[in-house]
Structure 1
Amino acid sequence: MAVDKMFLQRLQDKLPNDAWFVYAGIVLQANDQMDIIAELWNAVQDKTPSPNAQVIKARKLREAFLKTSVLVGFPKGINACTALRKALKETSPEVEEQLDKDKSLRQQLQREEKYARGLEFFSKVYAQHTDRVLRNGSLASGGDLAEFAINAIYGDLMAEESRLSAKETGLLVGALQPWKRFTFVGKNSKALI
């Protein structure tokens, strides 16, 4: 199965902001199409001549794979990050070398700080439904689901905004909504747009 350059160009034209590749990448991740991540990276690299801009985009893509792993499954997160690293190693070793030097973005926050940060981000996502969603999660799980969501998923993972903004992180969820309806069809991939 291949995603040709024309498909990626059409996708970039339809999503002209710099994050088009992030949304394409997470759809590949969700559909377990890790072999196409290298082709995606090649398209990003072709459109990004600056090595510094390539590092920034590779970090954004890696962060999206990490954040999306809680939505599509941790093994897919591992596989997507590994596929990206392999693609970088083969085509952009200087970018891969930079990323290998990165330290974790997740801060060692006190529990109260993490809870406050997580609740703030959760509230941005769920807006007027925040209290109801937390209450239902707590009731359904003896309190554990809401606690885990606020502290681990939102406090530790999603609220980190140095690579992906709150808006970009929120759009990850929206970008995954249509993926269930699509089947990758190789050369007929234009049907996805």
Structure 2
Amino acid sequence: MYAGEIFVNFEMEQIDYKILNNLNNLPLQFENKLSAEKISLIVNAVLCSLNITNLILPFNLKTFELNFKSVDEKRIIIEKVKETFYKISCVVGFPKSINALEQLKVLIFDFESNIENVKIRNRTRVQQVQENITSSGLDLFKTVYGKNSTAVLKKLQASHVDLVETILYNYGLILSDMSMLSVIETEFVLIAALKVQGGMIEKQAFSHILGAVNVGASKVEVDSAVELIEKIKICLMPVIPSI
């Protein structure tokens, strides 16, 4: 049983508690610059992107204890973490997102929680026709990329004839739904997921760093998010999978 409200229905894998403690101590360094929710979402995005799934559950349980006291707060952050894993599937791939989501299935909540206070993803969007989804994707793409959006789309179009359509469809279906994560939170988790992959993929995070500013994040928030991501990478260095 966890705090009388949440319990885990299996025995957790053996984990490195030194790494876990270092991760859970990071919010103290950024509490005046980023909200506890944003910090939690960024850490989870990194864990998913690097496929370090055995730390997802213990990290979130400790985060509950430190930052989210009520049952509803815990349920809301878990739904946001799940949305994070779903949204970053666009940049990390569905296998990693599925692995990460599987880790959260073992959480069972007390039925006394007021489910009406917990937002859920707007599933009616899935039933939209493709044309509308692509249109909403284009709107978000233009918002994120600003004056560079046309040039970026042309560059993508030159790479593959169907690439723009596919990207805009994913922007529309997956990324443009803000019922769970705000547009700023969405940009932050994309930055985290891209930045930790290194190489040419990491460079793609730069567009979303600019995008975060375009959608309303402050420079302090963006700089703090980037700094936090680097510190998370340092914490995880001993367990980052080698290819």
Specify the TM-score bucket, using the shorter chain as the normaliser.
0.7 to 0.9
- Once the two structures are TM-superposed, the CA of residue 173 in structure 1 deviates from its matched residue by 2.1
Residue among 125, 132, 148 paired with 2:166 = 148
The letter for the 1-side match of 2:27 is L
Question: Whose helix fraction is larger, Structure 1's or Structure 2's?
Answer: 1
Gaps of 5+ in 2: 1-15, 199-232
Task: Please tell me the root mean square deviation across aligned C-alpha atoms, in Å.
Answer: 2.6
Looking at structure 1, the residues matched to 21 and 137 of structure 2 have their Cα atoms a distance apart, in angstroms, of: 39
Identity among equivalent pairs (%): 23
- For residues 170-189 of structure 1, give each alpha carbon's deviation from its aligned partner in whole angstroms, at most 9, with x where no partner exists: 112222344246462459xx
- Once the two structures are TM-superposed, the CA of residue 135 in structure 1 deviates from its matched residue by 1.4
Give the 3 Å change call, closer, same or farther, for CA 145–125 of structure 1 in structure 2.
same
| Aligned pairs, number | 179
Give the 3 Å change call, closer, same or farther, for CA 72–94 of structure 1 in structure 2.
farther
- Does the 8 Å contact 1:12/1:21 carry over to 2? no
Looking at structure 2, the residues matched to 178 and 111 of structure 1 have their Cα atoms a distance apart, in angstroms, of: 30
The letter for the 2-side match of 1:52 is D
TM-score (norm 2): 0.65
Give the 3 Å change call, closer, same or farther, for CA 120–103 of structure 1 in structure 2.
closer
Tell me the equivalent position of 2:185.
168
Tell me the equivalent position of 1:26.
45
After superposition, residues 6-21 of structure 1 pair within 5 angstroms as 6-15=22-31, 16-17=34-35, 18-21=37-40
Looking at structure 1, the residues matched to 128 and 98 of structure 2 have their Cα atoms a distance apart, in angstroms, of: 24
- Once the two structures are TM-superposed, the CA of residue 74 in structure 1 deviates from its matched residue by 0.9
After superposition, residues 1-193 of structure 1 pair within 5 angstroms as 1-2=16-17, 3-15=19-31, 16-17=34-35, 18-46=37-65, 47-86=67-106, 88-89=107-108, 92=109, 94=111, 105=123, 107=125, 108-142=127-161, 144-151=162-169, 153-180=170-197, 182=233, 184-185=236-237
- Once the two structures are TM-superposed, the CA of residue 133 in structure 1 deviates from its matched residue by 1.4
